[in-house]
Amino acid sequence: MAKRKKTINNNGKGPKIFRFFTNEVTHFVVGLITAMIALFATVSMISFFFTGAADQSKVEGLSIFHFGTIQGIQNWAGTRGACLSNVLMNEWFGIPTFFLILFLFMVSFRLMRAKYFPLIKNFILCATATIWCSVALSFLLDKFFNDTVVYIGGKHGAMLSGLLSKNLGTFGAFLFLLVTFIIIMIFISSATIPFIRKVFGFGYIKNPKRKNILAKTNDEEEEEEYDDEFSNYTDPEPQVLIEKEDEDDKPFVVVRPADEDAVIPEQKPKLPKNNETSEDFNRDLEELGVYDPTLDLSNYKFPTIDLLKKYDTSDPQIDMTEQNSNKNKITQTLEHFGIKIKSIRATVGPTITLYEIVPEDGVRITKIKNLEDDIAMSLAALGIRIIAPMPGKGTIGIEVPNKEAQIVSMQSIIVSKKFQESNYDLPVALGKTITNEVFMFDLCKMPHLLVAGATGQGKSVGLNAIITSLLYKKHPAELKFVMVDPKMVEFSIYSTIEKHYLAKLPDGDKPIITDFTKVTQTLNSLTKEMDDRYDLLMKAGTRNIKEYNEKFINRRLNPNNGHKFMPYIVVVIDEFGDLIMTAGKEIELPIARIAQKARAVGMHMVIATQRPTTNIITGTIKANFPARVAFRVTSAIDSRTILDMTGANQLIGRGDLLFSQGSDVTRVQCAFVDTPEVDRISKCIGEQRGYPTAFYLPEYVGEDTGNNPGEVDLNNLDPMFDEAARLIVIHQSGSTSLIQRKFSIGYNRAGRLMDQLEAAGIVGPSEGSKARQVMVQDEYQLEQILNGLRK
């Protein structure tokens, strides 16, 4: 009694109402009342199993708080018990309601200090069990005892079970309930995961952190015990790492200094282990910082603006006499043919003026379109282009060349705010529109570009503008070019940037690819680079190069597993027509394959031709190059070949172009960048410290490359010959790439193995790009051949 009094006195501070609620007696009394309510509910629910059928018609529709007596009630807890049990068992959760009653007993025991129960944890467990069991029991009742009218899971369970079955089907609902049960059990018991592993034979993957714990003991039996008990252990002090143990098996503790793994220009920081947790990665990221691919060339300076020539076009004068004259001539010509217009408005560009007219009601658009030649004759213009109607506008556009054309300099494009503030992944600034706006696009979103035009119409200048704009925006670590130049003169000026921006084959003697055989090898090498990059994306669990590189620079990928920072690769091919005429399908097939798949791995193509004919720009090429640039061509047929519409034949030349992406066509005056300007930019880059070599593409050896079978020495077989032979026979596929992929060897060695297999009669001769025929049908026959070779 004295002890109880002491407790009351200790809590006797504060207002009376506060003392009342904190009083131990109050807690005990409330706990006792709670236990009584829980016991009453238990008795009424147990009675429901025996008397519920008789009482149901009398209490149906009544709430728990119904007052008054009902005649003929048989529930052991009377009218109140009958109403309560009906609501709990029928209307609410059914039999699983006992879990809630169990929680009430826990509350009462906690209040009476009879036993301690953590209330929040147990409430969550009891509530979860009530809801899950309610649905599960209703599901089982519906599927196996669907002729009963008893709601063993309550109406709550019946409703949710019905929704699951309707939306997921019987199997889907069962699978959902099974998975949620396993998840609940995982949180209830730590033995669930080991039990599941044991049942399904997954084995046990040892926790990488376990060694830190076991460093405290040398007992092997304790080690096995810790395997299970601490499978989810997390080191509470991540800054202290156990690097190794001394001869006495005592832990050697090393505290990693803050600057131990600072990134240096060689970019060889200490790498995280393969099995590190996200907590370890976060620690490495905090200590080392994000990986910066540009640090290898940390002193690299981008080309300066003064390398580009500045033209005096800061204040272009508009010749109002010319504009008014053209307006009058257009209006008079249309009126001569009975076409009246409401209004006409002019927009003056650097080389073209756009006249937008609004015709009177009832005028057919095709009638104006057919007057294209008549309007051109009245204006004495080199060529006009009628856009009927203007996309997104209720007007008809007539594009008329200016008498005095202005030069759109590359300098004016590079210094523009739009280019300087661009955040495109591969920003290409092509020139200016007819409204004097800088025209830019992201090559990553194109994702490939087809450039065509007649000789001398600005095609080569356009390619230089594309390359120059990328050089002004992207660091050598972020971008590589593969330049193919059959004419041998267009891209030679870029040779000086070989160790900064160019990619080539390992045995390539020239940075610019001019030889036709090297072109084929390079394109096939690019397809291999593409496949290798897709493998890395798959291992990293990413969808594209942007996600992959972001994961890499945040040190989420281990270079020891082959991961690396991926630069964008832009393949620029000039005179594509010559390549097609010379190599045909050998060129077209790898180009089509790259164009179809390479976008996600950061590889993009820009191909140009001066012969836009259907045998050069085939359906396969057009299908994979949705973005197209058309300079002036000589015929409407060539324009349709490039753009699927006429218009390029009406351009005025000297960099005047149409850019098409889908159904949108934009007229642009290409930025002019002269050869001396490109030369200065290349020298500025080339004179800086670069990488030791150009960016090497993967080695590629074709199926038919190697020695003749008669020249193969079967007495000096590759150590991997037997394994390769068995692989080929098992798969019944004579593919060099299969050998290379399965054994992780280079194409040269895989090609030599294939030559030896052919000489041994295991595979047939090369059939171009197709896999070779396998001459051996089973392993028994193969063993006879191998035994013969060993003699």
- Is 93 in contact with 157 (CB distance < 8 Å)? yes
Q: Is the pLDDT of residue 315 over 60?
A: no
- For residues 333 and 371, is the Cβ–Cβ distance under 8 A? yes
Separation CA 419–CA 424 (nearest Å): 9
Structural element, H or E, at residue 136: helix 119-144
Residue 615 pLDDT > 80: yes
Closest CA to 545 of 572, 561, 562, 568: 568
- Cis, peptide link before residue 427, omega less than 30° from 0: no
pLDDT of residue 646: 86
**Pairwise pLDDT comparison (271 vs 338), residue with the higher score:** 338
Q: Which of 46, 47, 34 is nearest to 75 (CA)?
A: 47
DSSP SS3 for 31:
helix
State the pLDDT at residue 744.
77
**H or E segment and range at residue 619:** helix 619-624
3-state helix, strand, coil in the chain (%, to 5): 50, 15, 40
Which range of 363-367, 679-683, 762-766 scores highest in mean pLDDT? It is 679-683
Among 467, 494, 459, 491, smallest CA distance to 577 is for 459
Most confident of 222-231, 369-378, 462-471: 462-471
pLDDT at 670: 94
Q: pLDDT category, 594, cuts 50, 70, 90? A: very high
Q: What is the pTM of this model?
A: 0.57
Exposure of 84 in the CB half-sphere (CA atoms within 13 A)? 21
Cα gap 191→185, rounded to integer Å: 9
DSSP state at residue 431: E
Can you give 399-430 as a three-state secondary structure string?
A: EEECCCCCCCEHHHHHCCHHHHCCCCCCEEEE
310: which residues sit within 8 A by CB, 6+ positions away?
409, 411, 412
Asked if residue 129 has pLDDT above 80, the reply is: yes
Q: How high does pLDDT run on average in the chain?
A: 80
The amino acid at residue 31 is: G
Torsion 750-755-759-761 (CA) sign: positive
Q: Which percentage of the chain shows pLDDT scores above 90?
A: 26
* Residue 549 pLDDT grade (very low, low, confident, very high; cuts 50, 70, 90): very high
Contact partners, residue 722, CB within 8 Å, separation at least 6: 786
Q: Choose the weakest-confidence range: 216-220, 299-303, 509-513, 654-658.
A: 216-220
Task: Report the C-alpha gap between 434 and 58 in whole angstroms.
Answer: 86
Confidence check: pLDDT of 576 > 80 = yes
Q: What is the CA radius of gyration of the chain?
A: 40
Residue 538 has pLDDT above 60, yes or no: yes
pLDDT of residue 79: 83
Find residue 657's DSSP bridge partners.
668
Per-residue pLDDT tens for 509-533?
788 998 877 888 899 999 999 999 9
The C-alpha atoms of residue 75 and residue 132 are separated, in whole angstroms, by 28
* 73 pLDDT above the threshold of 90: no
pLDDT band at 241 (very low <50, low <70, confident <90, very high): very low
The arithmetic mean of pLDDT across residues 587-599, rounded, is 89
> Does pLDDT of 240 surpass 80?
no
Q: pLDDT-based confidence at 478, cuts 50/70/90?
A: very high
Domains of the chain: 1-116 (no CATH), 118-190 (no CATH), 204-252 (no CATH), 320-401 (3.30.980.40), 421-628 (3.40.50.300), 709-790 (1.10.10.10)
Whole-Å CA distances, 750 to 719, 735, 741: 12, 9, 9
Average pLDDT of the segment spanning 460-466: 94
- Collapsed DSSP state (helix, strand, coil) of residue 479: strand
Question: CA 39, CA 36: separation in Å to the nearest integer?
Answer: 5
Q: Which of 293-307, 383-397, 407-421, 539-553 has the lowest mean pLDDT?
A: 383-397
Confidence band (pLDDT; 50, 70, 90) for 301? very high
The pLDDT assigned to 788 comes to 81
Query: Is pLDDT at 209 greater than 80 in this prediction?
Result: no
